[in-house]
């Protein structure tokens, strides 16, 4: 199951197909100009993941009191934006994920102070806090920043202080 999931992600990620232009326009309408500039620097598979997660959140919240609030869409679109700093390719990400699960994420801080591939693995493992920082520096919403900071750690989801319905939608939508 886990392997099949990873393999699917791996081969899907090889596609250079960009998101549809209607989706890119949607991202631009939800994000600040600075956020959109960073979002656009991501590899195509990360942009597609971002849009897919946000469309699922949009569908999940449709008809609720949380529909049409751009902060939840922004949170979905930018949850993984911190990955852009690691500039890790697919194999690097597989290695980083393994290294993180073997050595523990506590080492990521130290690794990100090093150089070369070690630094990039450390940055990748720290993508939640790095993403939150980026969102804030880009003038994004505090809700989106708070979600980015904790999205990878279920025990910390409550720290984002978002409505339960929104958190449930964000969690269910993220398939990586
Ligand atoms: Fe993530
Ligand atoms: Fe994700």
Q: What is the DSSP string of 144-172?
A: HHHHHHHTT-GGGGGGG---HHHHHHHHH
User: What ligand has the least distance to the C-alpha of 84?
Assistant: 1
Residues of the chain with pLDDT under 70: 1-2, 9-10
CA of 63 to the centre of ligand 2 (A): 24
User: What ligand has the least distance to the C-alpha of 50?
Assistant: 2
Q: 42 lies in which domain range?
A: 2-173
- What pLDDT does residue 95 have? 92
Q: Which residues of 68-81 are buried (b: 16+ CB within 10 A; e: fewer)?
A: ebebbbbbbbbbbb
Taking only the tens place, the pLDDT of each residue in 24-61 is 999 999 999 999 999 999 999 999 999 999 999 999 99
User: What ligand has the least distance to the C-alpha of 172?
Assistant: 2
CA of 80 to the centre of ligand 2 (A): 5
Around ion ligand 2, residues with a beta carbon closer than 5 Å are 80, 174, 176
CA of 14 to the centre of ligand 1 (A): 19
**What is the enclosing helix (H) or strand (E) of 58?**
helix 44-61
Task: Count up the domains in the chain and report the number.
Answer: 1
């Amino acid at each position: 199951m886990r392997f099949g999931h990873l393999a699917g992600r791996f081969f899907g990620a090889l596609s250079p197909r960009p998101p549809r232009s209607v989706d890119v326009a949607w991202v631009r309408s939800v994000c600040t100009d600075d956020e959109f500039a960073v979002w656009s620097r991501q590899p195509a598979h990360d942009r597609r993941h971002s849009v897919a997660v946000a469309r699922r959140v949009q569908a999940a919240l449709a008809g609720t009191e949380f529909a049409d609030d751009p902060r939840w869409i922004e949170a979905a679109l930018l949850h993984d934006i911190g990955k852009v700093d690691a500039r890790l390719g697919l194999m690097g990400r597989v290695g980083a994920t393994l290294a993180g699960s073997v050595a523990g994420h506590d080492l990521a801080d130290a690794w990100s102070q090093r150089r070369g591939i070690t630094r990039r693995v450390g940055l990748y493992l720290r993508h939640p806090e790095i993403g939150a920082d980026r969102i804030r520096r880009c003038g994004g919403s505090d809700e989106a920043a708070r979600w980015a900071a904790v999205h990878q750690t279920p025990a910390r989801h409550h720290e984002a202080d978002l409505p339960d319905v929104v958190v449930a939608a964000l969690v269910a939508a993220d398939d990586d």
